Amino acid sequence: METVSLGVPEPILDSLPADSEDTAKDMQQAVAGWERRINDAVDAADSDEDAVSYVVDAVERLESRLERFDEFVPELRAWGQSPIYAIAWRNLYAELVAQLYDHEELGAALDRERNQRLVEDGIRFGGR
């Protein structure tokens, strides 16, 4: 499997307030960390199936973080605070998932692995 390339989309950086250089830097470091961990796991995997399985795990963690930041948005608004940072991080995680799916052969493999996991979970849950 080929290596994965991820980046922080410019529109997300542009959506941050003008004094948010630290947040932009944090986002870039976070994305570099995700990219490094995914590529290290892909390189260390014994097979493409193992590599895809790790990437699906990463996608699920990204989606979990996306949901957590999405839950912050109405809460921050209710307290009269700006949710711009929560929105930016939520959008970043959504973009990273989309970037992983956009890789040529990876997108279809991710769908297959996720569907297989759904079926396995359904069988486990249904058999009890």
Per-residue model confidence as pLDDT tens digits over 9-31: 999 999 999 999 999 999 999 99
Residue 2 within a domain: no
Residue 1 within a domain: no
Distance CA 106, CA 54 (A): 12
pLDDT at 107 (0 to 100): 84
Q: Is the pTM of this model over 0.75?
A: yes
Structure tokens at 13: 């950086």
Which structural domain, as residue segments, surrounds residue 57? 10-126
Instruction: State CA 121 to chain mean position distance.
Output: 22
Number of domains in the chain: 1
Q: What is the CA radius of gyration of the chain?
A: 17
Q: Which stretches of the chain drop beneath a pLDDT of 70?
A: 120-128
pLDDT at 115 (0 to 100): 86
